[in-house]
Amino acid sequence: MRIGILGAGGMADALGTQWARAGHEVMVSGRDLSRSSAQAARMSAAATPSGPSADAAISAGAANGSDVTGVTGASGMTGVTDVTDVTGVTGATGMTDATGATAVTEAAELAGRGRVRAGSFAEAAGFGEVVVVAVREAGLLDTLRAAGAALRGKVLIDVTNAANPREYDLTHSLARLIGEVSGGHVVKAFNLCHVDVWRMTPPVFDGRPLAVPLCGDDPGALAAARTLVTDLGCTPVDGGAAERAALLEATAAFMIGLWFGGADAQAILPPLPSSGTHQPA
């Protein structure tokens, strides 16, 4: 699927690279197109299979990313940089000269895989069948406004957390705010774990794949979110309706507090067989 990411920071990098690796088309976005383009080039290279041609793509991406002006997109969207062209095609040319036909084949494969582009917030919102909200709270409202009308009715995956977990406000839900401002179908997900966890391939602990709770109302949006969770090698868990997204935000604030204090947050809960007998009310 096409995934637009509002954000070009750590979470955009970790999740977007994994999804590009899984075959999705990804567009990251930030306030500075040249910075986002460099980020997209790194992601595109990281999402390609390793080998000599991937190394060439990485070099090309690193070399070209910072020079990208944002007007060379093959997609025809003004201001959009198709970084696959930068990394894949440039890499292909270089590898043809250096190592011959085999490398060309590998580079041609690269051009069709690991596609990560960069654009403005509005372009990422328009690009994505699914749009991931991965910006800091301080920039959330401005980002949603910049993304604009393209978010209306879209599947929105909200990974955000409160800026300061120590001063968490129980009455203030970022997911609710995102839904109200955007008019999109919000699913809260991926907010409970540190960015380094989302870089793991796959996130498996003691032989158990990481479980990712999802809170949302729209069946189509939840189905898309489940696919994206599965693509990371994780297991989706039904976390209930959209209004329960605030509980995920509170849980993150609570867990982060424990981790900051050096506690093993996982140890606060018993395994399922010892969790008591529970029946729905």
Ligand X SMILES: NC(=O)c1ccc[n+]([C@@H]2O[C@H](COP(=O)([O-])OP(=O)(O)OC[C@H]3O[C@@H](n4cnc5c(N)ncnc54)[C@H](OP(=O)(O)O)[C@@H]3O)[C@@H](O)[C@H]2O)c1
CB–CB of 43/16 below 8 Å? yes
By CB under 6 A, which span of 3-11, 66-74, 179-187, 217-225 interacts with ligand X? 3-11
Q: Which is nearer to ligand X, 136 or 172 (CB)?
A: 136
CB–CB of 160/220 below 8 Å? no
User: What's the one-letter identity of residue 109?
Assistant: E
CB–CB of 17/48 below 8 Å? no
Residue 30 near ligand X by CB under 6 A: yes
Q: For ligand X, which residue of 153, 194, 208, 220 counts as binding (CB under 6 A)?
A: 194
Q: State in angstroms the smallest separation of the CB of 50 from ligand X.
A: 25
Q: For ligand X, which residue of 27, 116, 130, 134 counts as binding (CB under 6 A)?
A: 134
Q: State in angstroms the smallest separation of the CB of 191 from ligand X.
A: 5
Phi, psi of 135 (to 5 degrees): -120, 165
DSSP class per residue in 114-138: S-EEEE-HHHHHHH-SEEEE---HH
Q: State in angstroms the smallest separation of the CB of 146 from ligand X.
A: 9
In degrees, rounded to 5, the angle at the alpha carbon of residue 212 between the alpha carbons of residues 185 and 131 is 30
Q: For ligand X, which residue of 23, 67, 136, 263 counts as binding (CB under 6 A)?
A: 136
Residue 128 near ligand X by CB under 6 A: no
Residue 103, Cα to own-chain centre: how many angstroms?
A: 30
Q: Which own/partner contact pairs does 271-279 have at CB distance under 8 Å and 24+ positions apart?
A: none
Q: State in angstroms the smallest separation of the CB of 14 from ligand X.
A: 8
Residue 15 near ligand X by CB under 6 A: no
By CB under 6 A, which span of 103-111, 157-165, 202-210, 268-276 interacts with ligand X? 157-165
Site string (173-192) toward ligand X, x via CB under 6 A:
------------------x-
By CB under 6 A, which span of 9-17, 54-62, 76-84, 105-113 interacts with ligand X? 9-17
Count interface residues toward ligand X (CB under 6 A). 24
What is the three-state SS of 165-207?
Answer: HHHCCCCCCHHHHHHHHHCCEEEECCCCCCHHHHCCCCCEECC
- Binders of ligand X among residues 32 to 91 (CB under 6 A) are 32, 35
Q: State in angstroms the smallest separation of the CB of 154 from ligand X.
A: 18
CB–CB of 118/34 below 8 Å? no
Binding residues for ligand X, per CB under 6 A?
7-12, 30-32, 35, 134-139, 142-143, 159-161, 191, 194-195
